[in-house]
A = this chain, B = another copy of it.
Amino acid sequence: MRGLMIGRFQPFHLGHLELAKIILRECDELIICITSLQFNYMEKDPFTAGERIQMIHESLKEEHFDLSKCYVLAIENQFNIATWASYLRSSLPKFDRVYSGNDYVRMLLSDSGLEVIKPNFLNREKYNATSIRKLISENSDWKQLVPKAVADNIIKFNGIQRIQTILTSDTKPTEY
């Protein structure tokens, strides 16, 4: 049985990592599906799909996951949300169970015959990508909230400066 977790992972944090561990305990294989493949260098989506794939892959590796049981993949967002479940199935290896605390995701998958599991997340106040991006932009105390491989790569990608530049630019990035 394959278990699926879905997110933008901007960035992948310790709450996500914890969920990945839970899924691999309960399923044979894990799929981590990164959404919004086509977006990057924007306020809510600072990192490219390639960067996010690399950060997650290396996080799993440093935590000694058996990578032969893991898929880390990225997909584009769909405008026609009613076709989203179908798009997921065409883009990913066959999956049987979805882990999501989001009622909206649950609704979209409700007709698909998939099992949707509500996970017990780590402290959601603390492990929250929006607030982590804010901490990164202020360069204050964010490294403890993400896997070491994520922190190292954000530094390597000039991620702090990138997020600051996006936030402070007087022209909105989408205008270019």
Question: Interface residues, chain A, CB within 8 Å of chain B?
Answer: 6, 8, 35-42, 44, 48-51, 53-54, 57, 61, 66-68, 70-74, 76-87, 89-94, 102-105, 107-108, 161-162, 165-166, 168-171, 173-176
State which of B36, B49, B81 has its C-beta within 8 Å of the C-beta of A91: B49
State which of B50, B79, B107 has its C-beta within 8 Å of the C-beta of A89: B50
Q: Are A162 and B107 in contact (CB under 8 A)?
A: yes
Q: Are A81 and B171 in contact (CB under 8 A)?
A: no
Give Cα A38 to B8, complex, Å. 20
Give Cα A31 to B107, complex, Å. 27
Q: Are B89 and A40 in contact (CB under 8 A)?
A: no
| CB of A53 to closest CB in B, whole Å | 6
Query: Could you list 16 further interchain pairs (A-B, Cβ under 8 angstroms) beyond the known A40-B80, A49-B90, A50-B93?
Result: A36-B175, A37-B91, A39-B80, A39-B81, A40-B81, A44-B175, A48-B82, A49-B91, A50-B91, A50-B92, A53-B71, A57-B93, A67-B67, A74-B91, A103-B165, A103-B169
